Amino acid sequence: MRFFLCWGFWIWLVASAVFRLMGHYFFTLEEPFLMIAVYILAIPLIWVVTIPIYSMKKLKHTERLLAAICIALPGMLIDAIVLLVFDNVFPNLSPDLDRYFASWLLWAYSIILITGFTKASFVRKNTFHSSN
């Protein structure tokens, strides 16, 4: 499970870097449709990141759920602290956006956990394999 914890940390790190560097472009109260798009785009993005990992490791049902928990856990723990010092970590985002950012985090971590409930047959059929 250490593999999945590491994946979770790297996913958190990349996502945090994106929000730190470019979050002000899509987390803005002046553009509500753009913020909604960020929520919607999280679904396929998280799906594309997690499902191939489950397939690559040939995980069974309970193993996928445990892997999803391990992927979500590092970010959830770190973000619990990050949200306390939101202004310092994300100076490019307005302090008024902290609740929207926290909402998006809950959304994203929920989607990660939901991917753990996918059926193994669905995971195998819908991932890329080289058949030589």
0.85 surpassed by pTM? yes
Q: What pLDDT score was predicted for residue 127?
A: 54
32/51 Cα distance (integer angstroms): 29
82/79 Cα distance (integer angstroms): 5
Sorting pLDDT into bands at 50, 70 and 90, what band is 121?
Answer: low
Name the packing angle between helices 2-26 and 61-82 (round to 10°): 50
109/71 Cα distance (integer angstroms): 9
Is the separation of the CB atoms in 78 and 11 below 8 Å?
Answer: no
Per-residue pLDDT of 42-97, as tens digits, reads 999 999 999 999 999 999 888 999 999 999 999 999 999 999 999 999 999 999 99
